[in-house]
Chain A
Amino acid sequence: QVHLVQSGAEEKKPGASVKVSCKASGYTFTSYGISWVRQAPGQGLEWMGWISTYNGNTNYAQNLRGRVTTTTDTSTSTAYMELRSLRSDDTAVYYCATFSYGSRSLDYWGQGTLVTVSS
């Protein structure tokens, strides 16, 4: 059974950085990519980026390029998302999800990590 377990809630000041982890289990880690999606309070889903778990290729949303980095550690089946220069409008729940290379769907999701940015 596929499980994605994310790190706990974070509170950050504007200008700081946050790094969220996503530990995968129940499948071969390199069988799926990992996508990151965020959801601001009361808003819809916003795709942030994805990373290929077999060659490390990445792609990021245009509005986040330069501030976001996604990485993976295949030895521990863990993905990471770092967001820098945090602003108040980065306050959101951040989700990791497995990304199917075939159908391009997000098949399994983590439980979400609340990141609050406030002075």
Chain B
Amino acid sequence: SYVLTQPPSVSVAPGQTARITCGGNNIGSKSVHWYQQRPGQAPVLVVYDDRDRPSGIPERFSGSNSVNTATLTISRVEAGDEADYYCQVWDSSSDQPIFGGGTKLTVL
């Protein structure tokens, strides 16, 4: 089955830019969605279809997707961005969503 690979952790200082990657075979041909999960809370969709933001999500969150890597970019990182981030694609062969293992973003 299709596998998505994320780094376990990313650290960034406040005000800097965080980049969280999601690797998968030919992931550039799929639509990638990103979720933020703060400690003790339910996940929240922050980017869908590679680069679109749901209403209410700050412009600081952006996404890109090319060839074998999708990237969630968080600009001007704030303390409140500290959370786990998960990427997700749809695996048409099994008709189910596939999640990456998650990346813990630490704001130093």
Contact = CB atoms under 8 A, between A and B. Distances in A.
Interface of A: 35, 37, 44-47, 50, 59, 61-62, 95, 97, 100, 103-112
26 contacts: A35-B97, A37-B43, A44-B84, A44-B99, A44-B100, A44-B101, A45-B43, A45-B86, A45-B99, A47-B99, A59-B95, A61-B96, A103-B31, A103-B48, A103-B49, A104-B31, A104-B90, A105-B88, A106-B35, A106-B43, A106-B88, A106-B97, A107-B48, A107-B54, A109-B44, A111-B42
Given A44-B99, A47-B97, A105 B33 contact: yes
Interface string B70-92: 00000000000000101010100
B102 A104 contact: no
Given A95-B42, A106-B35, A109-B42, A45 B48 contact: no
Nearest to A61: B96
Contacts of A61: 96
B45 interface: yes
B99 A95 contact: no
Given A105-B31, A105-B48, 18 more contacts: A44-B84, A44-B86, A44-B100, A45-B35, A45-B43, A45-B86, A45-B99, A47-B98, A62-B94, A104-B90, A105-B45, A105-B49, A106-B33, A106-B35, A106-B45, A109-B43, A111-B42, A112-B42
A47 B4 CA distance: 14
Interface residues of B, number: 24
Contacts of B90: 104
Query: Residue among B31, B42, B54, B95 with the most chain A CB within 10 A?
Result: B42
A97 to B, nearest CB: 8
Contacts of B37: 45
Contacts of B31: 103-105
Contacts of B100: 44
Contacts of A103: 31, 33, 48-49
A104 B54 CA distance: 14
